[in-house]
Amino acid sequence: MTPRRPLRPLLLAAALLCGVSAAQAKDIRPPVPATNPATGKLPEGTSPSPRANPAGGETSPRAPGAGNQPGNHAGVPAASVASGTSSTKATTAAAASPSSATPAVLRPRTMPSFDRWSVACTNSGLCTASALIRDRSVWLDLRIVRNWPAEAPALVRITANAALNGDKALKLWIDGKAVDEIQVAQLRESQAAITAPLGFRPLGGEGFWYPAGPATDTLLRAMVAGKTLRMDLPIGEETVSLQIPLKGLMASLSWLDDQQRRTGTTSAIQTKGEALAQDAPHALPIVDPATLPPAIAAAWDANRFCSDVDPGIFPNLDAVAAPLDDKLTLYLLPCGAPGAYNAAYVALLAGADGKTRQLSFARMSDQGPVAMDLLYNLHWDAPSLELDSLFRGSGIGDCGVWSRWRWTGSAFALTEEASRSTCDGQETPLSEWGRIWPPATESN
């Protein structure tokens, strides 16, 4: 008689597609392969299930040094997850049908850009608009930073890859007109008066906060009205002048206002109105694992080697506690040290009663629906309650698997998935990766 055990992963995933919870399917528990959390590599001799390249090229089952694609091997954890003094079985997030889970208008797979300006938001809801300019060996990053609280001010961050001469001044010009001159020594002394937003991750090099309050507001208004910002950086005995195009800045700031739901409010940067500002959708950044609730810390510590993370790099891994409603909180925590281009995470769900359970997520494979309990390079979008995972098959991100799940009120449903299996060195935008889910129909 054919043994039933190998069928359990597929039966569980099929149950997920029908909206059956893991508690109802508790007897369907696959073994967990001993994967490396940072790379997703399988034990020697285990093969992935390569998917045909949407462009028609050869498939690449394994990118050098990257490990196999997730989902073809990751199963529901067999171990229990700690929950206070008791333990509960890991709960698997459901995958809904395309008609019930997929929104009418899909959110773009990546953050937009506006000319030379890029925008982004962290998992906590802190958003930025930035421009990176290079001139030979010198680069400059100019960043507008806005945290999620209603009263959070807009801040300007200036970062260069070389230390500035403390005996000279930093000069700013807009369209040939001088707008500010600040002594570098004075700028350094003023940093103590500005509190960096919790969860802000500074770049390498020497970074400064521009004087906050009215000075920042005045500078932003002048930048929006101008065409080019020139910044004179005193580096050593030389002055390096960098030109920053301002086209696209207005659209970037409008995007920030919209993303944080400030449009039409008194706190908007660009699209002001008379409405009172409210806190933007957000999650709470976790910068120190010692602050985790005991049940969450126990579950995280019991999961593979997830809690084996250097405390020095933990603040840079964008761990958060995301409220889903007044009773449930989603904890997104790193699982081990990041690899070369993949950082693994686990998702833990905590109830108001203190019970904690780990989530697994449905995704599609050539053999059918499967479940995975590790997320890679994840991004949490608080406004939509959507979670993205991007497993990179190579360092430049030309191949891999991208997935998105949406919180339905009781589980996470797979709403969209795409892949590119050929690691050919051709940088292909994520928006052009072939869609795996939902399946193509005449209507979509």
Which residues neighbour 402 within 8 Å (Cβ) at sequence distance 6 or greater? 109, 388, 389, 390, 391, 417, 418, 419, 430, 433
| Cα 405 to Cα 100, 102, 124, 389, distances in angstroms | 13, 9, 17, 9
| Cα 256 to Cα 113, 125, 150, 366, distances in angstroms | 12, 10, 13, 39
* Full-model pTM: 0.77
How far apart are alpha carbons 53 and 47 in whole angstroms? 17
**More confident of the two residues 52 and 293:** 293
* Other beta carbons less than 10 A from residue 338's beta carbon: 21
Asked whether the predicted pLDDT for residue 69 surpasses 90, the reply is no
Q: Is the separation of the CB atoms in 228 and 245 below 8 Å?
A: yes
10 Å CB burial of residue 276 (0-12, 13-18, 19+) is exposed
Q: Which amino acid appears at position 167 of this protein?
A: D
DSSP letter string, 390-430: EEESSTT-SSEEEEEEEE-SSSEEEEEEEEE----S----G
* Other beta carbons less than 10 A from residue 83's beta carbon: 20
E-assigned strands of 47-137?
81-83, 86-88, 91-92, 113-114, 117-121, 127-135
Q: Which helix (H) or strand (E) holds 369?
A: strand 368-372
Q: Of the given ranges (49-58, 158-167, 270-279, 416-425), which has the lowest mean pLDDT? A: 49-58
Count of alpha carbons within 13 Å of 75, Cβ hemisphere only? 19
CA 175, 145, 218 angle in degrees (round to 5)?
40
pLDDT at 34: 36
Phi, then psi, of 191 in degrees rounded to 5 = -65, -30
Q: pLDDT tens across 221-275, in order? A: 999 999 999 999 999 999 999 999 999 999 999 999 999 999 999 999 999 999 9
How far apart are alpha carbons 71 and 400 in whole angstroms? 11
pLDDT at 1: 46
**Cα–chain-centroid distance for residue 372?**
18
Phi, then psi, of 394 in degrees rounded to 5 = -155, 170
In sign, the C-alpha dihedral spanning 282, 111, 391, 9 is positive
Q: Is the separation of the CB atoms in 54 and 401 below 8 Å?
A: no
How far apart are alpha carbons 394 and 416 in whole angstroms? 22
- Split at pLDDT 50, 70, 90, the class of 305 is confident
Q: Across residues 363-367, what is the average pLDDT?
A: 87
Q: Which amino acid appears at position 282 of this protein?
A: H
Asked whether the predicted pLDDT for residue 30 surpasses 90, the reply is no
Q: Which amino acid appears at position 127 of this protein?
A: C
**More confident of the two residues 16 and 267:** 267
Domains of the chain with bracketed CATH: 9-105+281-437 (no CATH), 126-259 (2.60.40.1880)
Count of alpha carbons within 13 Å of 67, Cβ hemisphere only? 26
Work out the mean pLDDT of the chain and round it to a whole number. 80
